[in-house]
Structure 1
Amino acid sequence: MTPTAAAADNPPPPPATRDDFLPFIPTHNLQTLAILISLPAGLQTCLLAELRRGNPLVQVERADWPHPGSLFISLGELFDPATRAMAPGLGVAWRQVNDPHYWREDLSQVRDGVEHLVVC
């Protein structure tokens, strides 16, 4: 199958809206909400799947790491295997890190040369 045919069979997910994230944000923090809806669509889809499974948000910030403009989201539990499995089809990379000083695994997506991360 050619890359063009594969893309036609698996269109990118639509961007999430503020209403998608509101149930997962304490006191409807507008800064947190703005960051979450700024994530690339594939990473949003993976993050929402985790939140809907009950994986809690721990940290949401404009970290400017690993690149200026990078967004950094931390979750409390490991990713569900279903999230790991769907990630590549959404243009999201999954990586097992297992670094006791940082995190155990991450999902990342690059948009406009800037990498954005969801870690746990």
Structure 2
Amino acid sequence: MPTAATATSEDFLPFVPTHNLQALAILKALPAGLQACLLAELRRGNPLVQVERADWPHAGSLFVSLGNLFDPATRDMAPGLGVAWRKVNDPHYWREDLSQVRDGVEHLVVC
């Protein structure tokens, strides 16, 4: 399976206000495959809605929410990066998610 390069703060700066150091730190802490999928979405114009250390579904879990559904190209690239895509369609939560587990902790990007 190909691996994704770890992103830097500079990769995320066009999408996050520079004063939001906490959000930048969280985005940099995501697993590399999830970072690659997230950056692909952001570069396609999918707006960043929420970035947080949710501690859900596991202690240490990171959570990112986007404004629009994932592009089919992102869904297609995800498995090769060790990222799982899932259609949720729960009106109370979200419609789709991308997840990656690192060191037994699941991290999520949802829309």
TM above 0.5, yes or no, is: yes
Q: What SS does structure 2 have at the residue aligned with 1:82?
A: helix
Q: TM-score, normalised by structure 1?
A: 0.91
Matched, 1:24 2:48: no
1:114 pairs with 2:105: yes
Runs of 4+ in 1 over 3 A off after TM superposition: none
TM-score (norm 2): 0.98
On the 8 A contact 1:107/1:118 being kept in 2, the answer is yes
> Which residue does the alignment assign to 2:26?
35
How far apart are the structure 1 equivalents of 2:19 and 2:85? Answer: 29
Whether 2:81 is the aligned partner of 1:90: answer yes
CA separation in 2, counterparts of 1:28 and 1:41? 23
- The structure whose Rg is larger is 1
- RMSD between aligned alpha carbons? 0.7
**33, 56, 61: which one aligns with 2:52:** 61
Q: Which sections of structure 1, spanning at least 5 residues, go unmatched?
A: 1-6
Unaligned runs of 5+ in 2: none
The number of residue pairs the alignment matches comes to: 111
More helix per residue: 1 or 2? 1
